[in-house]
Amino acid sequence: VDLVAEVLEGDRRALAKLISLIEDDHPEARAALAALYPHTGQAQIIGITGPPGSGKSTLVNALAKHLRGQSIPVGIVAVDPTSPLTGGALLGDRVRMRDLAGDSGVFIRSMASRGSLGGLARATSDVVKVLDAAGFALVLVETVGAGQSEVEVAQAAHTTVVVEAPGMGDEVQALKAGLMEIADIFVVNKADRPGADAALRALHMVVGRDGASGEACAWRPPILQTVAARGVGVSEVWEAIVAHREHLRAGGHWVEQERERAMAELCDILRRDLLRQLLTRLGEDTFQRWVERIAAREVDVYTAARLIQEES
Amino acid sequence: VDLVAEVLEGDRRALAKLISLIEDDHPEARAALAALYPHTGQAQIIGITGPPGSGKSTLVNALAKHLRGQSIPVGIVAVDPTSPLTGGALLGDRVRMRDLAGDSGVFIRSMASRGSLGGLARATSDVVKVLDAAGFALVLVETVGAGQSEVEVAQAAHTTVVVEAPGMGDEVQALKAGLMEIADIFVVNKADRPGADAALRALHMVVGRDGASGEACAWRPPILQTVAARGVGVSEVWEAIVAHREHLRAGGHWVEQERERAMAELCDILRRDLLRQLLTRLGEDTFQRWVERIAAREVDVYTAARLIQEES
């Protein structure tokens, strides 16, 4: 519990150690998380997502620098779901480190999936809680990729920023359809490049259309422009983040989000614990025999699942 | 069971109906899947994935046309994990339909996530089995996006084709690190564009490096070039798919894959069933009280999960 006290004081080595324990699913991690949990709930969690090449890392970096100018402690979690087999670290970290190194008010951690896909989301959520408890008022969670991971980021964040860039082709336009639904703030980054106007127009059309059918006090996602590499437009992104927080707080959505997040996490943990127990009761050999029977087409997987539950 | 007989004959309306039942998680779907299951195991399942804009759909289309020229029945499942909230259909279907319409040897289905993320993977796997049972010798599963979804595609496929295109930027290069590990075949599409040589070189470097440390009889992913929009290089992709199938069959990997897939599916179904039963025993009110306590920071989620299991 020494570790917990050190984390609460924001000790960087303690933070790094606890996060490693979380990644290894070490029993000590659960105990520490339980002790830290009452100290959470202060941070605003920001998910940053969007297609590859849109400049998410650069924007995260610029945002962190902007906040450090205001002495706001910032935690950054960079999630890379595309490397499930290596457990390798994320690109761009060296770039980040160069700009933000030596600032004790910034903590940066890359996370890659080490085993199950669900494990990464689980660990990321726990790391965010640790940073929250350690006093980082803002936690930026960046996801590389353009798939299911966005949706998970959105579920774990108070505010989701979707980053685009001009001229990314038709398929990216279509991806937008999925991103539209999770975006609280849109950013067209690299806005000094050709095609920025078209990208902005396309976003305005979709947001405008949705806004028309929404409730009066609904949040209408602002559409911002940045040139993150030069810091242009970054303060406006920060203002939008603050505005969204006020919106969440005023409408009771903040509390509602907390509840939804708690429910999703609880279900996730229960699912995994329950399966582990069933497999222990059943025994490895019996389980493997069922797997063989399914692979041999003697029984289908749904029937097998039913029979296993009746048996155990 | 009329439906099952019709599906086995390849009746298109029956196929469409059963797939809808699967998507709705209808009880009748489980019964039909159980009856169809002994008829599965014939099809080679090909996952096609890669970053947005690489031309996956065009390649899938070109491959399907090539196979139809050889009278091979082709099923195409286009999975869109980026639209979890609308349940909307996938882009590109109209393009596909135009080229392949009226050919009874092709069946195309788009699938979007309707609820849980896990639900989509579950339903996709079931739809692939239906197409397998209906006699489609080749089932192409295409995923839009560049995230966790690739990995799920790879897990559900015998052969994973990773499609790239020239000049997609640094971040895409980095994504490759994740895709490298799941690729059985690499395709640089749009190979008539500037930058194709660089993309090929980069891939050759990575594959070469991995090959050096691999076993003697290990599969070394071929790196192919296509201009799918004009059908260029498509027959070579098909030859590589056939060669990979022979490799899997010869080395016993095919059977091993079947077993791994059966195990993953069984665990997934058990997890969901077990949670549902626990929640039924616990009751909605008690469960909601636990969620409230977690959201109020009275108890952390791991402790809550443990106490719930002790209690119920």
A148 vs B181: CB contact, 8 Å cut-off? no
Closest-CA distance of chain B to residue A179, Å: 7
Rounded to a whole number of angstroms, the distance from the CA of B272 to the nearest CA of chain A is 7
Residue A245, number of CB atoms within 10 A of its CB: 16
Give the integer Cα–Cα distance in Å for A224 and B251. Answer: 54
Q: What is the pLDDT of residue B236?
A: 98
Average pLDDT over residues A20-30: 91
Q: Best interface-test mutation with A: which of B120, B130, B270, B312 has the largest number of A CBs within 10 A?
A: B270
pLDDT surpassing 70 at residue A62: yes
Provide the CA B170 distance to its chain's centre, in angstroms: 26
Is beta strand A138-143 parallel, antiparallel or unpaired with respect to A185-188?
Answer: unpaired
Q: Sorting pLDDT into bands at 50, 70 and 90, what band is B89?
A: very low
Report CA B259 to chain centroid distance, whole Å. 17
Contact list in A for residue B172 (CB cut-off 8 A) is: 52-53
Secondary structure letter of residue A88 according to DSSP: P
Q: How many CA atoms lie within 13 A of B246 on its CB side?
A: 7
The predicted model gives B156-161 an average pLDDT of 91
**B275 vs A148, A262, A274: nearest CB:** A274
pLDDT over 90, % of chain B: 58
Q: Which of A26-35, A116-125, A271-280, B220-229 has the lowest mean pLDDT?
A: A116-125
pLDDT-based confidence at residue B207 (cuts at 50, 70, 90): confident
pLDDT band at A118 (very low <50, low <70, confident <90, very high): low
- Once rounded to an integer, what is the mean pLDDT over residues B80-94? 46
| pLDDT reported for residue B155 | 73
Q: What is the secondary structure of A155-187 as a DSSP string?
A: HH-SEEEEEE-S---HHHHHHHHHHHTT-SEEE
Interface test with B, best of A37, A58, A82 (most B CBs within 10 A): A82
Closest partner CB to B266 (pick from A37, A53, A301): A301
Minimal Cβ distance to A147: which of B145, B181, B267 = B145
Residue pairs spanning A and B at CB distance below 8 A: 235
CA distances from A257 to A139, B111, B202 (A): 16, 28, 44
What the block records as the tokens of A282 is 């059943």
The answer to whether the beta carbons of residues B175 and B146 sit under 8 Å apart is yes
E strands in A10-72? 44-49
Task: Indicate the pLDDT class of residue A168, thresholds 50, 70 and 90.
Answer: low
State how far the Cα of B16 lies from the Cα of B9, in Å rounded to an integer.
13
Mean pLDDT to the nearest integer, B131-157 = 78
Q: What is the pLDDT of residues B46-79, one digit of tens each?
A: 999 877 678 888 999 999 999 999 999 999 998 8
- The amino acid that residue A174 corresponds to is A
Task: List the single residue in A with minimal CA-CA distance to B57.
Answer: A171
Q: How far apart are CA A121 and CA A156, in angstroms?
A: 9
Bridge partners of B247? none
Which value, to the nearest 10 degrees, does the dihedral of the CA atoms of residues B94, B97, B98, B99 take? 130
Considering only CB atoms, which chain A residues are within 8 Å of B259?
A: 291-292, 295
Structural contact between residues A248 and A255, judged by C-beta atoms closer than 8 angstroms: no
Rounded to a whole number of angstroms, the distance from the CA of A224 to the nearest CA of chain B is 22
Please give the ipTM for the structure prediction.
Answer: 0.85
What gap in Å lies between CA B289 and CA A181, rounded to an integer? 29
Contact between A247 and A253 (Cβ < 8 Å): yes
Average pLDDT over residues A228-244: 97
**From the candidates B49, B193, B302, which should be mutated to test the interface with A, based on the most A CB atoms within 10 A?**
B302
Give the pLDDT band (50/70/90) at residue B95. Answer: low
Give the pLDDT band (50/70/90) at residue A50.
Answer: confident
Binning pLDDT at 50, 70 and 90, where does residue B88 land? very low
CA atoms within 13 Å, Cβ hemisphere of A219: 26
Mean pLDDT of A39-62: 89
Given a cut of 90, whether residue B201 has pLDDT beyond it is: no
* Distance in Å, alpha carbon of A261 to nearest chain B alpha carbon: 8
How many angstroms away from the CA of B13 is the closest CA of chain A? 24
Rounded Cα gap, residues B184 and B221, in angstroms: 5
Residue B120 confidence (pLDDT) above 80: no
C-alpha to C-alpha distance for A150 and B309, rounded to whole angstroms: 31
Alpha carbon of B79: minimum distance to chain A alpha carbons (Å) = 11
Provide, as residue numbers in chain B, all residues whose Cβ is less than 8 Å from the Cβ of A115.
none
Q: Are residues A109 and A78 in contact, defined by beta-carbon separation less than 8 angstroms?
A: yes
Residue of A nearest to B177 (CA): A83
Comparing CB atoms, the residue among A30, A259, A292 nearest residue B291 is A259
Q: Which residues contact B286 (CB under 8 A, 6 or more apart)?
A: none
Residue A85: per-residue pLDDT: 37
- pLDDT for residue A3 is more than 80: yes
What phi and psi, each to the nearest 5 degrees, are found at residue A109?
Answer: -140, 130
CA gap B89, A177 in Å, rounded: 11
| CB neighbour list of residue A292: distance below 8 Å, 6 or more residues apart | B259
For residues A209 and A260, the model is more confident at A260
Q: Is there a contact between A177 and B82 if contact means CB atoms under 8 Å apart? A: yes
Q: A92 versus A278: which is more confidently predicted?
A: A278
Assess contact for B308 and B290: CB atoms under 8 A: yes
Is the Cβ–Cβ distance between A232 and A188 less than 8 Å?
no
Query: In the prediction, which pLDDT does B50 show?
Result: 78
Q: What pLDDT is stored for residue A155 in this prediction?
A: 73
Mutation to test the B interface, candidates A171, A179, A298, most B Cβ within 10 Å: A171
Q: How many residues does chain A have?
A: 312
The structure tokens listed for B201 are 């070189």
For residue B267, the model assigns a pLDDT of 93
Helix extents (H) in B77-168 = 93-100, 117-133, 148-156
Question: If you average pLDDT over each of A104-118, A165-179, B23-37, which comes out highest?
Answer: B23-37
Interface test with B, best of A28, A80, A301 (most B CBs within 10 A): A301
- Annotate B262-274 with b (16+ C-beta within 10 A) or e (fewer): bbbbbbbbbbbbb
> Which residues in chain B have their CB less than 8 angstroms from residue A119's CB?
none
d(CA A221, CA A209): 12
CA distance A238 to chain B (A): 24
CB B75 within 8 A of CB B131: yes
Q: Are residues A270 and B305, on separate chains, in Cβ contact within 8 Å?
A: yes
- Nearest 5°: phi and psi at A144? -85, 135
Most confident of A136-150, A268-282, B96-110, B173-187: A268-282
Between A171, A294, A306, which is nearest B144 by CB? A171
The pLDDT > 70 percentage for chain B reads 80
What are the two backbone dihedrals, phi and then psi, of residue A115, each rounded to the nearest 5 degrees? -150, -110
Closest residue on chain A to B284 (Cα):
A263
Q: What is the CB-side half-sphere exposure of residue B152 using CA atoms within 13 A?
A: 29
User: Which pLDDT tens digit goes with each residue over A182-203?
Assistant: 789 999 999 999 889 888 887 8
What is the phi/psi pair of residue A104, to 5°?
-70, -10
Report how far residue A29's alpha carbon sits from residue B302's, in angstroms, rounded to the nearest whole number.
Answer: 10
pLDDT of res. A104:
83
